[in-house]
């Protein structure tokens, strides 16, 4: 574990970055990007499932 103390400037920067992250997570665009990523990740498995399910008789 790193025990280095942050300088006041580093603490301010860390706080600003954390706050930006919170704002991003509360932003609709952030949510839409995460949903879009999930849809694209599921596209392949869903396609394979459908092909397998409907090609069997």
The answer to whether position 29 is within a domain reads yes
In a domain, 45, yes or no: yes
Residue 26: inside a domain, yes or no?
yes
- Residue 9 placed within a domain: no
Q: What is the pLDDT along the chain (57 residues), one digit of tens a residue?
A: 677 898 999 999 999 999 988 887 778 888 888 899 999 999 988 888 888 888 876
pLDDT at position 1 is 63
Angle at 25 between CA 22 and CA 26, to 5 degrees: 90
Residue 34 lies in a domain: yes
Reduced 3-state DSSP string for the chain:
CCCCCCCHHHHHHHHHHHHHHHHHHHCHHHHHHHHHHHHHHHHHHHHHHHHHHHHCC
Number of domains in the chain: 1
**Tell me, what's the pLDDT at 46?**
87
Give the per-residue pLDDT at 57.
60
Cα 40–chain centre separation: 13
């Amino acid at each position: 574990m790193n025990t280095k103390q942050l300088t006041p400037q580093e603490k301010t920067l860390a706080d600003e970055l954390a706050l930006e992250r919170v704002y991003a997570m509360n932003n609709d665009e952030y949510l839409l990007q995460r949903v879009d990523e999930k849809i694209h990740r599921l596209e392949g498995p869903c396609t394979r499932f459908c092909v397998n399910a409907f090609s069997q008789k």
